[in-house]
Amino acid sequence: IILTLPPSLIMEYTGIVFIENDGSFIAEEKIKRILKRGERGNERIPDDGLGLSIVQEIVEQNGGSIEVSKSELGGLKIGVDFN
């Protein structure tokens, strides 16, 4: 999933965007660390674990915050708050 918001929209938008998936759930202790650089949600898929930490940096640089929790769909729920 790619969600692209132009900077002008981000500056005018106030609210929370939720992104959820139905993938395999990550253990609670891993959720607390998943936003840190180098942490990976799925150890079976080779990657560098940079995605969510970069998203968090961008969101925070634009005055927002990000929260990760369990989705009712079974996977992760990511909330990006631009209030």
Give the list of residues 6+ apart from residue 47 with CB closer than 8 angstroms, or none: 40
| pLDDT for the residue numbered 52 | 83
| 39 close to 57: Cβ distance less than 8 angstroms | no
* Percent with pLDDT over 90 in the chain: 4
Query: Residue 57 and residue 79: Cα distance in Å, rounded?
Result: 14
| pLDDT for the residue numbered 71 | 86
Q: Model-level pTM?
A: 0.68
At CB < 8 A and 24+ separation, what contacts does 24-29 make?
A: 24/74, 24/75, 25/70, 25/71, 25/74, 25/75, 25/76, 26/76, 28/70
pLDDT in tens, 45-83: 666 556 788 888 988 888 889 998 888 888 888 898 877
